[in-house]
Structure 1
Amino acid sequence: MINKDASEQLSRRAWLGKVSVPALTVAGAAMISAKIPGVEPGKSNVYNVMDYGAKGDGKTLDTLAIQAAIDACNVAKGGTVLLPTGVFLSGTLQLKSDVTFHLSAGGRLLGSPKREDYTAGKGVPSGNGNIVFLYAVNAERLSIEGKGTVDGNGLAFYTGKGDNTGPGQNGVGGNFDRPHLFIFHQCTELRLHDVFLQASAYHCIRLLQCKQVYIDGVRIYNRVNKNNDGFHFSSCQYVHITNCDVQCQDDACSLFGSNRFVTITNCSFSTRWSIFRFGGGDSQNIAISNCLIYDTYGCPIKISSGRANIENFSFSNIIMKNVTGPIGIGFSGVSNNKNPDNNQPTTKSYIRNISFNGIRASVIALPVPHPDIHFDLHTWEGEKNSCITLNAMGDHYLENISFTDVHVKYAGGGTVAQAGKRDVPKVAAEYFGVWDTAPGGPPAYGLYARNVKGLTLQNVRFEFAAEDARPAVVLDNVQDAAINGLSVQGSMSAESLLRVVNSKDLLFTAVRVLTPCQALLSLEGTSNEGITIDGGDLRKAKKQAIYRAGANLKSLKVRA
Structure 2
Amino acid sequence: MRKFLALAAALAFCTSAALAQTYSVRAYGAVADGRTVTTAAIQKAVDACTKAGGGTVEVPAGTYVIGTVFLKSNVTLHLDNGAVLKGSPNLTDYHPYTLPEYGQNYYGMLFTENAENVTITGQGTVDGNNPVFYDFTQAKTLDSVTTRYTRQKNNYRHVASGIGDGPVVPKDRPRQMVVFSDCKHVMVSDVSLINSPFWTMHFADCTGVNVTGIRLYSGILVPNADGVDFTDCSNVAVSNCDIQAGDDALVVSGYNHHFEIAGFHNLRRISENIVITNCNLQSASSGIRIGYLDQNTVRNVTVSNCNITNSTRGINISLRDEGSLENLTFDNIRIETKLRTGDWWGNGEPIHISAIRGNADKSVKMGRIKNVRFSNITCRGENGILLYGTAESPLENVEFHNLTFDFVDSPLNVVAGGNVDLRGNLDPRFGLFARDIPGLLAEHVNGLAIHDFKLNWVGVKAPYLSNGLEVNHFTNLRISNFQGTGAPTNPKAVSVALADGTGVGLDVPKGQVTRKNVK
Question: Normalization by structure 1: what TM-score?
Answer: 0.72
Structure 1 residue 303 corresponds to structure 2 residue 303: no
Alignment-mate amino acid for residue 360 of structure 1: T
Write the mapping of 1:355-370 to structure 2, written as runs, cut at 5 A.
355-364=373-382
Structure 2 distance, partners of 1:151, 1:426, is 33
Structure 2 distance, partners of 1:454, 1:44, is 55
Partner of 2:228: 231
Structure 1 residue 473 corresponds to structure 2 residue 497: no
Q: CA contact under 8 A between 1:285 and 1:312: conserved in structure 2?
A: yes
Structure 1 residue 80 corresponds to structure 2 residue 56: yes
Structure 2 distance, partners of 1:146, 1:211, is 22
**1:197: Cα distance to partner?**
0.6
Alignment-mate amino acid for residue 330 of structure 1: S
**1:116: Cα distance to partner?**
0.8
Partner of 1:489: 485
Residue 425 and residue 359 in structure 1: after superposition, are their counterparts in 2 closer, same or farther (change >3 A)?
Answer: closer
Structure 1 distance, partners of 2:234, 2:286, is 22
Deviations 1:305-347 (A, max 9, x none): 3223111000111001344201111113436xxx62xx5x233
1:185 aligned residue (172, 181, 184) = 181
Partner of 1:500: 498
Write the mapping of 1:16-31 to structure 2, written as runs, cut at 5 A.
none
Partner of 2:124: 148
**1:60: Cα distance to partner?**
1.5
Partner of 1:389: 386
Partner of 1:287: 302
Deviations 1:187-229 (A, max 9, x none): 1000001000101111100111111000110110101632111
Structure 2 distance, partners of 1:273, 1:150, is 23
Q: CA contact under 8 A between 2:127 and 2:193: conserved in structure 1?
A: yes
Deviations 1:509-542 (A, max 9, x none): 2x369xxxxx512222xx310xxxxxxxxxxxxx
Q: CA contact under 8 A between 2:406 and 2:457: conserved in structure 1?
A: yes
Partner of 1:271: 283
Alignment-mate amino acid for residue 457 of structure 1: I
Q: CA contact under 8 A between 1:399 and 1:453: conserved in structure 2?
A: yes
Structure 1 distance, partners of 2:172, 2:38, is 25
Query: Equivalent residue of 1:346, what SS?
Result: coil
1:462 aligned residue (455, 477, 481) = 455
**1:178: Cα distance to partner?**
2.2
- Uncovered stretches (5+) of structure 1, i.e. residues with no partner: 1-33, 365-385, 415-420, 514-518, 530-560
- RMSD over aligned Cα, in angstroms? 3.3
Q: Sequence identity, in percent? A: 27
**1:75: Cα distance to partner?**
0.2
Structure 1 distance, partners of 2:452, 2:289, is 26
**1:176: Cα distance to partner?**
6.6
1:132 aligned residue (100, 108, 133) = 108
Partner of 1:520: 512
Residue 52 and residue 448 in structure 1: after superposition, are their counterparts in 2 closer, same or farther (change >3 A)?
Answer: same
Structure 2 distance, partners of 1:44, 1:86, is 24
Residue 427 and residue 192 in structure 1: after superposition, are their counterparts in 2 closer, same or farther (change >3 A)?
Answer: closer
**1:395: Cα distance to partner?**
3.4
Residue 162 and residue 182 in structure 1: after superposition, are their counterparts in 2 closer, same or farther (change >3 A)?
Answer: farther
Write the mapping of 1:416-435 to structure 2, written as runs, cut at 5 A.
429=424
Structure 2 distance, partners of 1:488, 1:496, is 9
Partner of 2:153: none
Query: Equivalent residue of 1:180, what SS?
Result: coil
Q: What is the number of residues matched between the two proteins? A: 440
Q: CA contact under 8 A between 1:101 and 1:144: conserved in structure 2?
A: yes
- Uncovered stretches (5+) of structure 2, i.e. residues with no partner: 1-12, 148-168, 255-269, 339-347, 412-417
Partner of 2:444: 451
Partner of 2:158: none
Residue 437 and residue 246 in structure 1: after superposition, are their counterparts in 2 closer, same or farther (change >3 A)?
Answer: closer
1:326 aligned residue (333, 336, 350) = 350
Query: Equivalent residue of 2:371, what SS?
Result: strand
Residue 285 and residue 128 in structure 1: after superposition, are their counterparts in 2 closer, same or farther (change >3 A)?
Answer: farther
1:312 aligned residue (320, 324, 327) = 327
Structure 1 residue 194 corresponds to structure 2 residue 194: no
2:200 aligned residue (200, 204, 207) = 204
Partner of 1:11: none
Larger radius of gyration: 1
Query: Equivalent residue of 1:66, what SS?
Result: helix
Structure 1 residue 350 corresponds to structure 2 residue 368: yes
Partner of 1:251: 248
Q: CA contact under 8 A between 2:91 and 2:106: conserved in structure 1?
A: no
Structure 2 distance, partners of 1:44, 1:388, is 52
Structure 1 residue 408 corresponds to structure 2 residue 416: no
Q: CA contact under 8 A between 2:421 and 2:433: conserved in structure 1?
A: no
Alignment-mate amino acid for residue 112 of structure 2: A
**1:131: Cα distance to partner?**
2.1
Structure 1 distance, partners of 2:17, 2:53, is 16
Deviations 1:26-68 (A, max 9, x none): xxxxxxxx9xxxx955887110001001121112111111000
Alignment-mate amino acid for residue 235 of structure 1: D
Partner of 1:220: 216
Q: CA contact under 8 A between 1:249 and 1:272: conserved in structure 2?
A: yes
Q: CA contact under 8 A between 1:307 and 1:334: conserved in structure 2?
A: no
Residue 186 and residue 127 in structure 1: after superposition, are their counterparts in 2 closer, same or farther (change >3 A)?
Answer: farther
Residue 427 and residue 142 in structure 1: after superposition, are their counterparts in 2 closer, same or farther (change >3 A)?
Answer: closer
